[in-house]
Amino acid sequence: MIASIIPLVPGGGMYFTMLASFEGDPMKMTELGMSTIMTAAAIAAGLAIANAFGRIIFAALIHPLLQRKRKL
């Protein structure tokens, strides 16, 4: 998962938020900061949901098959 997250991290948004902060533009900084936080939260939520579904599928489908093979 780590390799797939690296291109998704909103680094550009963080950079432009800090740039607006140093330039003294609080409205632009707030707008960019909120957008960046929402993007990061959406990525984190998507990863958490995908991980949860993966664990559920593994526990329901694949794990019982592996247990049967071990008993044979």
Kindly report the pTM of this predicted structure.
0.71
Phi, psi of 12 (to 5 degrees): -65, -40
Q: Which residue's structure tokens are 């049967």?
A: 68
38 and 45 in contact (C-beta within 8 Å)? no
How does pLDDT run across 17-58, given as a tens digit for each residue? Answer: 999 999 999 999 999 999 999 998 898 899 899 999 988 888
Quick one: pLDDT at residue 62?
79
Contact residues for 36 (Cβ-Cβ < 8 A; gap 6+): 10, 13, 14, 17
